[in-house]
Amino acid sequence: MAGLGPLEGLARRPQRLILLAALVLLLLSLTTWLSVDPTGVETVRQQWGSIPRPWQRPGASAAGEYAGGSGVPSVDSAVKDMYTHTPGIPQTPEELKQWATKGDDGNLYPPSFIPSQANQAPRAKAGFIVLVRNGELASMRESMRDVEDRFNRKYGYPWIFLNNEEFTDDFKKGVKQMTRSEVRFGFVEKKHWGYPEWIDRNKAADTRKQMKEKKIIYGDSESYRHMCRFQSGFFFQHPLTMDLDYYWRVEPGIKLYCDVDYDPFVFMQMNNKTYGFTMALHEYIETIPTLWSTTKKFVEENPQYVAKNNGIHFMTDEPERFMDPGYNLCHFWSNFEIGDLRFWRGEAYQKYFEFLDKSGGFFYERWGDAPVHSIAAILFLDKARLHHFDDIG
Ligand SMILES: Nc1nc2c(ncn2[C@@H]2O[C@H](COP(=O)(O)OP(=O)(O)O)[C@@H](O)[C@H]2O)c(=O)[nH]1
Ligand SMILES: [Mg+2]
């Protein structure tokens, strides 16, 4: 056999010749297809990339795979994989290199990522609830800037904007620019923003006149009263809030000076907290002359709703006499609240609000949502379920 050339070998075994011809033909048709079909090369590259490589960490792939020609790294899949495939989280810049993207300039770009995506900690069912007017867009954007920079850019909770008028396109666009999170816009229906049929409007108008003469803050404002009634009794019933358990109330023009580096919603859930506040103030007595006595009447008729270990010492100066000494006017400032919506939706508060609403004090006086929320939280909750967020502000 020695001395036979390769051709002689092929001639003696024709099946080898057929195999070689088939291979050449296959190669020819493949190259022709690649040169004709513009997406051909990309398809082959993708298929090649998707072949499993068990010797690599799951999710890992070669540098540059995410380069889509634009030079901008594709954030979604890369970063998600990077952070969800523990222990594959890169520990050194060298390891991070495999997630880098090759830019048009030929340099490797480290992955850019959305903070909330990188932070894969579990979330609560929560969001920001904001009642706001179209005209407050500028100060709303300032509030959002603070809340996003200090907290939400890392957590990505949704924003729910509510209004008794339709939001304008300018408003929608303006607030959407301030967050990467989901943004919802809701309309407040007339039955939650208007006079109930049992209210005597002339009597309500008389009150506003008298309060104006006495120069009581917002005393002559009709819309302020609708706002307070809505915030007291209805914001937690809006359809856009129904998938949430917890809310953070934000208003236009608020400031947050300190970073919030943990999730206060998850804090509430973990510790079974129901109502969180930052500040307590005194209410103007002229705005709520009969709120305490009306509440007392409700409590006498419904003692079952009062919590055993309630926080009454916060609201009267002689807590051993329960509600008898009268209200010391202390209340939690409601421009900031982090709370459990299920408490407001629950039986005790619903019954309490109905009772207050029927008595007419939202219109015949000027009951604010802050004292109403505060009194309810103090009476119907175990005091361990309240939390002072002294680290938010
Ligand atoms: N959509 C709407 N929002 C209102 C109206 N009045 C007040 N608000 C909102 O209700 C919240 C409380 O109002 P604000 O004027 O700040 O009252 P204050 O905090 O008691 O001084 C803010 O978020 C306002 O934007 C209104 O007539 N329509
Ligand atoms: Mg305010």
Reading the chain (393 residues) residue by residue, the pLDDT tens digits are 444 455 666 567 778 888 888 998 998 888 777 666 655 555 665 566 555 554 444 433 333 333 333 333 344 555 555 555 455 677 788 888 888 999 999 999 888 878 887 787 889 999 999 999 999 999 999 999 999 999 999 999 999 999 999 999 999 999 999 999 999 999 999 999 999 999 999 999 999 999 999 999 999 999 999 999 999 999 999 999 999 999 999 999 999 999 999 999 999 999 999 999 999 999 999 999 999 999 999 999 999 999 999 999 999 999 999 999 999 999 999 999 999 999 999 999 999 999 999 999 999 999 999 999 999 999 999 999 999 999 999
Give the separation between CA 350 and CA 352, rounded to whole angstroms: 5
User: What pairs with residue 338 in β-bridges?
Assistant: 248, 276
Question: Which ranges constitute the DSSP H helices of 119-165?
Answer: 137-150
SS (H, E, C) 297-349: HHHHHCHHHCCCCCCHHHCCCCHHHCCCCCCCCEEECCCCEEEEHHHHHCHHH
Can you give the residue ranges of every domain in the chain? 94-388
The one-letter code for the residue type at 239 is: P
Q: Which residues contact 307 (CB under 8 A, 6 or more apart)?
A: 379, 380, 381, 382, 383
pLDDT of residue 374: 98
Q: Is the pTM of this model over 0.95?
A: no
User: Six-digit token pair at 36?
Assistant: 């004709």
Q: How far apart are CA 179 and CA 150, in angstroms?
A: 12
Q: What is the per-residue pLDDT for 341?
A: 98
Q: Helix or strand or coil: residue 131?
A: strand
| Per-residue confidence (pLDDT) for residue 62, from 0 to 100 | 34
The number of the ligand 1 atom at minimal distance from the alpha carbon of 162 is 1
Nearest CA to ligand 1 atom 19: 335
pLDDT at 274: 98
Protein residue with least CA distance to atom 4, ligand 1: 132
| CA of 230 relative to ligand 2 center, distance in Å | 14
Give the helix/strand (H/E) hosting 282.
Answer: strand 280-282
- The ligand placed nearest to the CA atom of residue 370 is 1
pLDDT at 285: 94
Q: Tell me: the pLDDT tens digits for 92-112? A: 888 888 889 999 999 998 888
Q: Of the candidates 278, 284, 295, which has an alpha carbon nearest to the alpha carbon of residue 368?
A: 284
CA dihedral 331, 335, 341, 346 (to 10 degrees): 30
pLDDT of residue 17: 83
Cα 276 from chain centroid? Answer: 16
Find out whether 181 and 123 touch, Cβ atoms under 8 Å: no
Q: How many CB atoms lie within 10 A of CB 118?
A: 14
Distance 160 CA to ligand 1 centre (A): 15
Please provide residue 219's backbone torsions phi and psi, each rounded to the nearest 5 degrees: -60, -30
Which pLDDT score, from 0 to 100, does residue 44 have?
60
- Nearest protein Cα to ligand 1, atom 22: 251
Residues 23, 27, 32, 33, CA torsion sign: positive
CATH number of the domain located at residue range(s) 94-388 in this protein? 3.90.550.10
Q: Determine the residue of 128, 129, 131, 225 to mutate for testing ligand 1's pocket, defined as the one with the most ligand atoms within 8 A of the Cβ atom.
A: 131
- With 0-12 / 13-18 / 19 or more C-beta atoms within 10 angstroms meaning exposed / middle / buried, residue 377 is buried
Report the atom number in ligand 1 closest to the C-alpha of 188.
1
Can you give the pLDDT at residue 16?
Answer: 82
Ligand 1 contact via 164 beta carbon (within 6 Å): yes
Q: Which residue numbers are catalytic?
A: 337
